[in-house]
Amino acid sequence: MKQSGFTAALAAATLGALAVTQAAHAQSSSSQSGKAAILILDASGSMWGQLDGGITKIEVARDVMGQFFATRDASIPLGVIAYGHNRRGDCSDIEIIARAGSQNPGALSQRLNRINPRGMTPISESLRIAAGEIPPTAEEADIILVTDGLETCNADPCAVAAQLANEGIKIRAHVVGFGLSEQQANALACVPDQTGGRLLRPQSGAELTDALNQIAAAEPMPEPEPEPTVQENFFDIGPKAEAGHTYRISYKGTARPVDYAGFTRRGEAEPDVSPSYGVIGGSGNTGNNPFTKQAPPEPGDYDLILFKNNGEGIIARQPVEVVAASNGFDPIGSVEPDKRFPFTWRGPDQVEQRVVIARPGDPAGTYQGDWGYSLSKNGRMGLKAPAEPGLYELRYLSANQKEILFSRTFGVGVPYEDADRTTSTELAERAFAATQAAPGQDALPMVPATFRLPDGFPPTPLWWSAVPLDPDMSPEAWAPQTEMAVGEGEFEPGRYEVRVTGPGETEFRGVVEIVPGQPNDFVIPLVGGGEAEQNPPGQRGDAGSSGAGTLAQESQGMACRAPSGCAYHDPVTGLALILPQGWEIDAPFFYETAGGAKAGQPSASLSRSVGGELQQIMLNPRQWMASSDPCTDTPAGELCRATSTDGAYLGAFEVVRSSLRIATARAASAPAAAALPSSNKRSNSVGLTEVMPRQ
């Protein structure tokens, strides 16, 4: 794995986010059972983007997670969630990798190392799921979101953060961003701002390291002083409100009609009475719930408060950011003189605000002929056009008629085409889009790949083709119009069946998986060739049945050197699993009795040498001391290991156990195998050789 300053810095960022909680309570040596942490890992398509030095974001994240799991306080229960790694274009692609609890660092790291980004960025729903994963015994929890972009699933993380802030336990949500711009960071800042978490926005390793040093040197954040009975009252408004727009706001608790509610500047006392602040109103002794208030006309930081007019004063205070309003008329174009014409708009629609017609350049208080009040019109109205042809403006005026809040030029009896085609629907969408990612954020990059024949075959120009196999890929096949001795092209990531026909109708065929962030250089084996052709040195060749006839197959072993583990599949026995780094598997086989009866499930031996000591994992062993060494039932039979306290050994066993399966139909001479669940996308269901990249 390549290393960089960014990797080390991002590791510190993730650890630093969790340390916010731990530092605040470092003086206590009591049990940590009252705390919990949930980590959310972004595995969307954009995580294949490269950082300085050519390393991809997902490589950095994998490395960071490994360090995080190994060094964090293991007494605090940890859960892990990932999104965007199973299906493209699916906003429900969120997976709970590990339930909150005590974790094996090695096994958990191995699981994340097998994640390959491919999908969307459902931040909001992931935050909700993370909150649901907090153990019921926890009194406080940290949610750590590691993301490289904004929401792409038409949801609002700020609204979810507001809900988290009102949970029964204290939840701090932290955001660790991969090179987020200032604008992107501002869009996600609402998440930590509302929950007391931290926002870390690394642009380079050096900058992030400096920022984390400042965090480490800072005093722990003190717990805020609770205001009297504030827990009994809160409002259902979101974290943002549009300037000048009216909101119906519900609250918890009770109030009287003479009590006051509304907006005041952040941290300030009650303001003067205005459309944004005043009595709640109601009948008898019960105040209106919900009540209606207008957001202040000037953008800025405000608090929504509830003021009890009985001597208690302010009993509830909730921060609300008032943002610039997205107001405007739909395009009008040209209308007929002295005729009524319809139009639509998006605006605050307050009492006494009106829509008028005026000449361009006329003062705000002057207008021509017909006009109407905006209130209760739901953004739709009709006015009579002036009789005199020319250019006019449709204006939306403030209640005092001294301010033009927005306008739109149109023609009366003359041709006019409005250059601004923005509609009221688009304005409403724009108001929502502050937390949404730009289109294409999660698009997977095109990846260069190379296909070549096994050693010993002449470099003859050939016709190559590659057909996509994954159901969520574009269906178009790759078939270059020129012959090439070595097939080269750019591909959407995923699995392909690669074919080429050589001289004398010699056929080469195999299944490859093209993955960003690694060399994708494949040797395509000969169909019907010998063992040397089917399994070139340094790569796995799972020879299978072709459409042209039955291949002579033998089970093969494998040694894994890849840090993220190796996918192993034996077509003879159907055995498939993830082989951890540093481990070897001998060729699987079926036990046979002296009478010729074969076992119903394959057997295999996995091993590695550590400091001269041999560690073993056995699948369906003939003899095993089960009384002293534990075995576990799996879909492929009984998996056994030695009794050990070695975390790496136990982690390797868990990786093998969780990935073990019977992946394809066995050879005709072997007993029938269990079918592979349809959800496993790595199976080679077409019976072709599955080819790994050259090392």
Query: What is the reported pLDDT for 596?
Result: 64
Per-residue pLDDT, averaged over 529-557, amounts to 42
The residue assigned the tokens 């392909």 is 496
3-state secondary structure of 491: strand
CA distance 532 to 340: 85
Query: What is the reported pLDDT for 253?
Result: 82
| Full set of structural domains in the chain with CATH | 5-217 (3.40.50.410), 230-323 (2.60.40.2840), 331-422 (2.60.40.10), 555-688 (no CATH)
Cβ–Cβ under 8 Å, residues 545 and 509: no
| Residue 21 confidence (pLDDT) above 70 | no
CA distance 570 to 660: 12
Query: What is the reported pLDDT for 606?
Result: 92
Q: Which of 145-149, 392-396, 667-671 has the lowest mean pLDDT?
A: 667-671
Query: What is the reported pLDDT for 202?
Result: 65
Query: What is the reported pLDDT for 538?
Result: 36
Instruction: At 533, list the tokens.
Output: 């052709």
Distance of CA 118 to the CA centre of its chain: 10
| Residue 208 confidence (pLDDT) above 80 | no
Q: Percent of the chain beyond pLDDT 70? A: 79
Q: What are the φ/ψ torsions at residue 44 (nearest 5 degrees)?
A: -75, 170
Residue 686 pLDDT class (50, 70, 90 cuts): very low
Pairing mode of beta strands 494-502, 506-514: antiparallel
DSSP 304-336: EEEEETTTTEEEEEEEEEEE----EEPP--EE-
| Residue 414 confidence (pLDDT) above 90 | yes
Query: What is the reported pLDDT for 552?
Result: 40
Per-residue pLDDT tens for 283-309?
Answer: 778 888 888 888 998 999 999 999 998
Per-residue pLDDT, averaged over 121-128, amounts to 93
Among 540, 589, 568, which Cα is nearest to 659's? 568
Pairing mode of beta strands 613-619, 604-610: antiparallel
CA distance 409 to 357: 10
Per-residue pLDDT tens for 176-206?
Answer: 877 777 777 777 888 888 787 788 776 643 4
Per-residue pLDDT, averaged over 21-50, amounts to 67
Q: What is the pTM of this model?
A: 0.48
Residue 591 pLDDT class (50, 70, 90 cuts): confident
Per-residue pLDDT tens for 105-121?
Answer: 888 888 888 888 989 99
Per-residue pLDDT, averaged over 381-404, amounts to 92
Amino acid at 550: T
Q: Which of 7-11, 45-49, 428-432, 672-676 has the lowest mean pLDDT?
A: 672-676
| Residue 61 confidence (pLDDT) above 50 | yes
Per-residue pLDDT tens for 479-497?
Answer: 998 999 999 999 988 889 9
